Amino acid sequence: MSDPKGLYIVPGGVGQGSNMKMVHQVLAAIQILLASEAHGFAARLGLDAKEVYDAVCKSPEWFWMYENRVPRLLAEDYTPPVSALTIILKDAGIITSTARRVNFPTPLSSAAEQVYLVGLNNGLGPIDDAAMVKTYFPDPVSTVKAQTNGASASNDDKLALVFKLLRGVLLLAAAEAIGFAQYLKLDLHQFYDLASGAAGGSIAFRERGAEMIEFLTGKKVAGAKDLAPLNIKQIRDDLAEAIDVGRKLFTPAPLAGAALNLLTSAERTAGNQKEKAYYGLLP
């Protein structure tokens, strides 16, 4: 899982180590695809892919899988694969089959699995999972060049839409993974420590994930920042705006769509108050 700290002893008996790995892969499975979804959207918006990459890597919407996968996406460096699509598809299948067995909702992981299956059936299985961008934008995204000649403000607005999409999905990915970890009776503080430094890590998980875990356990995560309260309505409205623009451009956005449905439900039931299950976001 790319955690430099190495070995973790997971309490709770036989099988909990496997469960810990699995809930980390919730983050990985969602966020590998999210990198492609974001760049498919950016390409249809007419944004320069390298400029988008540089901006995201310096932003609060940074996540490990994005920084790792997108250079291969930009270069179309898919064979030999660093990480074949079939690997993350297998992990997604373990997540969703376990979720069905224990009766737990994993809407974003399930959406990701379905898109991975589309990629598999389109011949992407043996090549790098960064090639999933082809399911969103068939041409090389690096061939798209941003407009110039006075269009910088427009390009900034378009880039803001990409950030809005990322922000909503990353928040819900953290909630899905943490909610599943709690349901499986894993140590949430250990999960946070592991996932924050591993391939599923993101600034959203590091910051809002810490807040979710404090809410669930009553114990503050060591080193966690004190954050301004979430505005679920604003996050939901921002994500809806991005999806609306994408729809007009015929951009598929399955992860964003699943996240929007969850945010809409949370906003309707919990608003901006910390009610049951952390604003209603946690399953």
Q: What percent of the chain has pLDDT over 90?
A: 80
DSSP string of 27-40?
HHHHHHHHHHHHHH
When the pLDDT of each residue in the chain is averaged and rounded to a whole number, the result is: 91
Residue-wise pLDDT for 46-57, tens only, equals 999 999 999 999
Write the DSSP symbol of residue 186.
Answer: -
In degrees rounded to 5, what are phi and psi of residue 111? -65, -45
Write down the pLDDT at residue 268: 77
Rg (CA), the chain: 18
Q: 10 Å Cβ neighbour count for 175?
A: 27
- Check residue 248 and give its pLDDT: 96
- Whole-number pLDDT of residue 229: 87
Contact 129, 81 (CB under 8 A): yes
**Largest alpha-carbon pair distance within the chain?**
63
Count of alpha carbons within 13 angstroms of residue 212, beta-carbon side: 27
Both tokens of 96, joined, read 């969703």
Band of the pLDDT at 59, cuts 50, 70, 90? Answer: very high
CA distance 104 to 157: 38
Length of the chain measured in residues:
283
Q: Which helix (H) or strand (E) holds 115?
A: helix 107-121
CB atoms within 10 A of CB 183: 17
Cα-based distances in Å from 6 to 69, 160, 194, 195: 22, 36, 9, 12
- pLDDT over 80 (residue 256): yes
Judge whether residue 62 has pLDDT over 60.
Answer: yes
Give the other-Cβ count within 10 Å of 148's Cβ: 9
CATH architecture, domain 16-280: Orthogonal Bundle (1.10)
Query: At 260, is the pLDDT very low, low, confident or very high (cuts 50, 70, 90)?
Result: very high
Report pLDDT digits (tens) over 223-252.
898 999 888 889 999 999 999 999 999 999
Distance CA 110, CA 107 (A): 5
User: Which 3 state secondary structure label does DSSP give 63?
Assistant: strand
Band (pLDDT 50/70/90 cuts) for residue 202 is: very high
- pLDDT at residue 14 in the model: 46
The answer to whether residue 152 scores a pLDDT higher than 70 is no
* Cβ atoms of 107 and 261 closer than 8 Å: yes
> For the chain, what are the domain ranges?
16-280
| CA distances to 33, 80, 94, 162 from 120, in Å | 13, 16, 16, 26
